[in-house]
Structure 1
């Protein structure tokens, strides 16, 4: 997931889902003059700059995009033209996060990032400490997805298992949970958050054809670039064979054939007292 150019060209799903969340839940955010905002998992920056920033009050003080990938942050910095927006490299799950970022924010947003972080307890603690008293946060966390199923399946291939020994690090900690809402809400409450919303919903990624689907899946695939170069194309072929095993072809109302991939996401609105 360090190919910022590829990710930037294939981020429509990210844009669509962030837009959906903000349109439906941003009214729960309590704004005031001079607010500071943190976007966790800002990636190549498009969601931060094109989706989130236009919805902020005109008098916000600053918006900081945070991402673990230096390549993503460098790409976002190059595209950014707004002096009130900045991007930094930081691991939100780090136990020593104050060495990288030691300031407080009025609001935290995160769209499809926290499902990649394995240390959930530390991450919740970090978000609590990054918020000012009275601050709030709106999060979207993928809890179950075909993508995670494919990662697990590929890791079981004798051909790939020796290369994908850490595949569990890229699967949502909630992928096999029967009640992710209860688990995540307990994490928040135990840290001191007041939870307003913690709700899992069924959503769908819709692609016009297999090419669009392939490009999107490869844009977020963490394994391809870690493989020997001479094996990468073979891995992609096997990866797409796994995709074909799921019958996600649907005829939409327009009578066009499209690919409709289901996933589940937990939306969270919480405040720090």
Structure 2
């Protein structure tokens, strides 16, 4: 995802899911005064700055957004790092080398609509656990299945798009390919195995409906594949045709075409036990 300006301009579908999660599940978060916060997958920083930062008390000490995309982080630093508590840093959540000052450093670790681009959930959640303070928590959302991802898989077999989508599975959540999908169990199991105590882990179906023009803009903005600029318009048309074949395109009364993308979303909240709890469990 290397188009920070386009992503910032087309954040609507992602923001809708974030707002749903906040409205229905943020009550579990137990926000701490004088807290340190880490956001995994901050993108261009606009959602972080405009919506998420305000969820925390004025006593917030630090809010660090990380992303593995250098253009995204540079854009965020340039446009949104105007609050002394807010910093954006380049980091891959699946790294083997976490910064020492990040270990057990954060009261709250957030991730919104990011982990669908991570194929190794065990590594990412293990790193999140290692960066969470004892007694701290993590709260994250992601689409765990999407018809749009099915279209990408289809295009990856096409001779024209195969060179650009050959590694498409590396950029998609493995839950997309489960034969008997139970994504909440997948995440519950990993969260518990890395050490968290899971409080909430739910998945549900939801349709994302966009006019054709906005659908094209959104797909372009979140495309993680190296499609050349001169082929992007053709690629978007191919994606649109793939959605048509899946009966996901409809006309309204004004003959405007709309694309409905069926998705399955997951919301998870988990607590890292206090050190005394860990000691008691080991006895």
Higher mean C-alpha deviation, range 81-90 or range 94-103: 94-103
The whole-number CA distance in structure 2 between the counterparts of 1:20 and 1:91 is 26
Name the residue aligned to 1:84: 85
Deviation of 1:236 after TM superposition, in Å, equals 3.0
Name the residue aligned to 2:53: 53
- Summarize deviations over 1:26-45 as a string: whole Å, max 9, x none: 11112222001111111011
Higher mean C-alpha deviation, range 229-238 or range 261-270: 229-238
- Summarize deviations over 1:62-94 as a string: whole Å, max 9, x none: 111111111111111122122111111100011
The whole-number CA distance in structure 1 between the counterparts of 2:122 and 2:213 is 38
1:93 has 2:98 as partner: no
State whether residues 155 and 165 of structure 1, in contact with CA within 8 Å, keep that contact through their aligned partners in structure 2: yes
The whole-number CA distance in structure 1 between the counterparts of 2:143 and 2:236 is 23
The 1:241–1:99 alpha-carbon spacing in structure 2 relative to 1, beyond 3 Å, is: farther
The 1:215–1:100 alpha-carbon spacing in structure 2 relative to 1, beyond 3 Å, is: farther
- Normalised by the length of structure 2, the TM-score is 0.88
- How many aligned positions are there? 270
Name the residue aligned to 2:261: 261
Residue 216 of structure 2 aligns to a residue whose secondary structure is helix
Name the residue aligned to 1:213: 215
Name the residue aligned to 1:168: 169
- Normalised by the length of structure 1, the TM-score is 0.91
Deviation of 1:100 after TM superposition, in Å, equals 8.7
- Summarize deviations over 1:143-178 as a string: whole Å, max 9, x none: 100121111011011222233211111221111222
The whole-number CA distance in structure 2 between the counterparts of 1:29 and 1:79 is 28
Cα RMSD for the two superposed structures: 2.3
State whether residues 18 and 47 of structure 1, in contact with CA within 8 Å, keep that contact through their aligned partners in structure 2: no
Gaps of 5+ in 2: 274-283
The whole-number CA distance in structure 2 between the counterparts of 1:71 and 1:168 is 22
